[in-house]
């Protein structure tokens, strides 16, 4: 039986983990390496780390951090943040990451995705597209951690990234981020129908049922979440968690 991957997405700000709501109101969560150890014990499918200030500081996600994760993690992991050069990718992969995630530079220089995919293979290159409605109610792709609107319609952008050779798309709803009220299913359906490459749903998951809904209605190949894996209970106490293997096997029946 096919079981979609279930992926914790962890945000880095400085040396700490944070969690956002609609890309704002960042709350400190804890030490990232400690979180890796806990996810090891909980047998997470894979991990994603996104450095949300790397681009603003004109750097990539820190190589020493990637090495530290590589030494600790028992599962595959992908990292993103400020990646804009082939040598950036080479260093990150050499440090232990299995995949890299590119956001802003994919919009600014789409040909970079083609060069990266040709150099390292499509399965190594992921693009994360952040989407929200503009003031006219039209969904657009945003960059620079959600601060800048682009002219790209999400479906057209997804098709372009597929043409450039990206191996997987992470589709994130900015408005649903941190709300824990469910994914933007209509967005996931649109993107999944526009491309044939794997699509990962991100932004809004709050319970196991949200994963099942996204897979069944949105045709996504994997589901990802942040808040759900670092909070517990209605008061959002900080507790790194992950479904048991038994739970995962029953979610998608």
Res 218: pLDDT: 76
How many domains, the chain? 1
**Is 217 exposed, middle or buried (CB count within 10 Å of its CB: 0-12, 13-18, 19+)?**
middle
Q: Which residue range is the domain that position 124 belongs to? A: 5-251
Res 1: pLDDT: 55
State the catalytic residue, choosing from 51, 130, 177, 184.
130
> Is 130 a catalytic site residue?
yes
Exposure class string for 164-184: b at 16+ Cβ within 10 A, else e: bbbbbbbbbbbbbbbebebbb
The CATH number for 107's domain is 3.20.20.70
Res 13: pLDDT: 94
Q: Which of 178, 231, 186 is nearest to 205 (CA)?
A: 178
Contact 149, 132 (CB under 8 A): no
User: pLDDT of the chain along its 253 residues, tens only?
Assistant: 578 999 999 999 988 999 999 999 899 999 999 999 999 999 999 999 999 999 999 999 999 999 999 999 999 999 999 999 999 999 999 999 999 999 999 999 999 999 999 999 999 999 999 999 999 999 999 999 999 999 999 999 999 999 999 999 999 999 999 999 999 999 999 999 999 999 999 999 999 999 999 998 878 999 999 999 999 988 899 999 999 989 998 988 7
What distances in angstroms separate CA 12 from CA 26, 29, 195, one per listed residue?
10, 10, 30
Rg (CA), the chain: 17
């Amino acid at each position: 039986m096919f079981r979609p991957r279930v992926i914790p997405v962890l945000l880095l700000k400085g040396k700490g983990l944070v969690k956002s709501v609609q890309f704002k109101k960042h709350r400190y969560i804890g030490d990232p390496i400690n979180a890796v150890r806990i996810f090891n014990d909980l047998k997470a499918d894979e991990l994603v780390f996104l450095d949300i200030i790397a681009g603003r500081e004109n750097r990539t996600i820190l190589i020493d951090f990637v090495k530290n994760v590589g030494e600790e993690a028992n599962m595959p992991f992908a990292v993103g943040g400020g990646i804009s050069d082939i040598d950036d990718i080479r260093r990150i992969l050499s440090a232990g990451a299995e995949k890299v995630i590119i956001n802003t530079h994919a919009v600014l220089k789409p040909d970079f995705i083609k060069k990266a995919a040709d150099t390292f293979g499509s399965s190594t290159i992921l693009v994360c597209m952040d989407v929200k409605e503009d003031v006219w109610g039209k969904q657009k792709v945003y960059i620079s951690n959600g601060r800048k609107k682009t002219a790209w319609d999400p479906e057209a952008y997804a098709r372009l990234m597929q043409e450039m050779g990206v191996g997987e798309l992470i589709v994130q709803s900015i408005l649903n981020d941190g709300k824990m009220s469910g994914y933007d299913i209509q967005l996931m359906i649109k993107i999944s129908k526009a491309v044939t490459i794997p699509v990962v749903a991100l932004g809004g998951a709050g319970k196991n049922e949200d994963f099942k809904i996204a897979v069944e209605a949105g045709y996504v190949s994997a589901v990802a979440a942040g808040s759900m894996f670092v909070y517990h209970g209605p008061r959002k106490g900080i507790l790194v968690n992950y479904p048991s293997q038994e739970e995962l096997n029953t979610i998608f029946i």
